[in-house]
Structure 1
Amino acid sequence: MRKIVNIAGINIDDITMEQAVKKIYHFISSDKSHAIYTPNSEIMMDGISDSQMRQVLNTADMLVADGAGVVLASKILGKAVRQKVSGVDLAKNLLKSSSKKPIRFFLFGGKPGIAEKAQANIICDYPYADVVGTRNGYFSEEDTEKIIEEINNSSAEVLFVCLGAPKQELWIHENKDKLKAKVCMGVGGTLDVLAGNVKLAPDFFRNHGLEWLYRLYKEPRRFKRMLKLPKFILYVIGIRLKLIKIK
């Protein structure tokens, strides 16, 4: 049974990484397509301020806490989720699990050449993961049907959609029922990481919830976007103090 923690009107799955991987295998064996989103504090704040985005997030088949800010928010509200399940880590764990039970993947997103570079690295690092197709994230609305056809013809079971938020979530929400892939995952910059173009924060930062600080140091231009993190936490504190009511 799905266990949910409501954070500011958004339903986050209270789930561990191991459970998430197991559930994805269950999705793969089913007869319909499933949406998985991995919101961090920025995306959560988008969901709070935009009712359409909130609806999209809440219609996901799995919504995991990507980031220490989301986990902290759950603790502030007294409903702590068990574990941070970041999109990139979930993607990597799925690729790794293919050594026990193979999965067919399609990589969609990133700049031209990034998905192909990620595919080449996956072949080396996860030889049992079968990447059956790639497509960059630069396209117009008129290209969508052709992209869907390409994904469907590949026989992919899991689709990594890396278009950045909220574009990837909106794209999956709009097109999920047209896709034959059993799992459509919005996983942001995962392809850049798999391609080796972006390095994850060192373990110290990741283990202490300071990834945002490392990313800000590496990419100062993200400062304005990262203001959503304290805004999100302050909003949650307002809920806890009953200064803000959730509709």
Structure 2
Amino acid sequence: MDKLSIMGVRIDNMSMNETMDVIKDKIKNKEQYIIYTPNTEIVMMCNKDEEFMELINKSDINVPDGIGLIYASKIKKHPLKEKVAGYDLSVNMLKLANENNLKLFVVGGKPGIADEAMENVHREYPNINIAGSQHGYFKGTHLGKNGDDEELIVLDKINKAEPDILFVGFGAKKQEQWIEYNRDKINAKIIIGNGGTLDGLAGKVKRAPDIFIKLGLEWLYRLIKEPKRIKRQILLPIFMIKVVFRGKDIIKEIKEG
């Protein structure tokens, strides 16, 4: 598997189909597999937060969830195959679960969001075994409460369900902290930190029209809909400026062994 280091963050150079093939294999072999979905914003966050970078790089796979990463890799002559959006990957996992009657557990979001998301999922994918849902407002590692009783109760619920797929949506860094701290305590196969996916599945956040996605302008659509995102979106041009004007080592291949 080809890997790149983009400003120190490991990005696995895999297409959506290749990623799904690995997921199928891990579920079949009953292996735990951790997936993170870094985008340009997360790469920039990691460059100011060594702890976050260390967490991100402990995953089993980091898919390139951001058109900025794709452009940057091409500029530096180490092209990534394609953008693998966390939301799209999550939906493909739902389709896989529906085809194979797999168990799904989701945790994250405000109270009620995870439940709403699963109601919608059940309507669209009736063959999924929805093993449980849990909001993210419990005391746990993601809130600096490592090993709190509330966290232990959530872990017990997950482990009793034995999900094939576990969605964890606490937002950047919090979800990676929670997964990394608890990974050896979780009885689940595929564990993905997928941010606002539950909000999308619950119908609270609408995805950009296909034309915006195809043109790599999903970020612009979201900015138009949510102007307050400007503080986050400004990181994209800053990232691209760094890519253009810094040396070639800003993006480099990671050699195995």
Query: Which amino acid in structure 2 is aligned with residue 159 of structure 1?
Result: L
CA contact (8 A) 1:151 1:179 kept: yes
Shift of 1:245: 9.6
Q: Judging changes above 3 Å, is the alpha-carbon distance between structure 1 residues 19 and 61 closer, same or farther for their aligned structure 2 residues?
A: same
State the number of aligned residues.
Answer: 244
Q: Are 1:97 and 2:96 matched, yes or no?
A: yes
Does the CA-based 8 Å contact 2:35-2:61 persist in structure 1?
A: yes
Alignment map for 1:162-201 (pairs within 5 Å): 162-201=169-208
After superposition, the Cα gap between the structure-2 partners of 1:6 and 1:241, relative to the gap in structure 1 and judged at 3 Å, is closer
Structure 1: where are the runs of 5+ without partners? none
- Give per-residue Cα distances to partners, 1:13-62, cap 9 Å, x unaligned: 11111111111122223454221000111111112222211111111101
1:145 and 2:152 correspond: yes
**CA displacement at 1:112 relative to structure 2:** 0.9
**1:63 alignment counterpart:** 62
What residue is the counterpart of 1:157 in the other structure?
164
Range moving further from structure 2, 21-30 or 51-60: 21-30
| Matching residue's letter, 2:184 | D
Asked if 1 retains the 8 angstrom alpha-carbon contact of 2:40 and 2:68, the reply is yes
Q: How many Å apart are 1:145 and its aligned residue?
A: 1.5
TM superposition shift of 1:101: 2.4
Counterpart for residue 74 of structure 2: 75
Amino acid at match of 1:224: K
The equivalent residue for 1:124 is 123
CA distance in 2, matches of 1:40, 1:184: 18
For 1:61 and 1:241, the matched residues in 2 are separated by 26
**SS of the residue 2:100 aligns to:** coil
Identity fraction in percent: 41
User: 1:10 corresponds to which residue?
Assistant: 9
Quote how far apart the aligned CAs of 1:64 are.
0.3
2:126 match: secondary structure: coil
The 4+ residue runs of structure 1 with deviation greater than 6 A are: none
Task: Give the aligned partner of residue 142 of structure 2.
Answer: none
The equivalent of 1:49 in structure 2 is 48
User: Residues 53 and 238 (structure 1 numbering): CA distance in 2 closer, same or farther, change over 3 Å?
Assistant: farther
Cα shift at 1:90: 0.3
Instruction: Provide the rounded CA distance (Å) in 2 between the counterparts of 1:231 and 1:170.
Output: 26
In 1: Cα distance, 2:221 partner to 2:88 partner:
17
Whether the 8 Å contact between 1:48 and 1:54 is mirrored in structure 2 is yes
* Structure-2 change in CA distance of 1:60 and 1:238 (3 Å): farther
Q: Measure how far apart 1:238 and its partner are.
A: 3.3
Structure 2 runs not aligned, ≥5 long: 140-144, 253-257
Q: If the length of structure 2 is used for normalisation, what is the TM-score?
A: 0.89
Shift in Å at residue 183 of structure 1?
Answer: 1.4
1:185: Cα distance to partner? 0.4
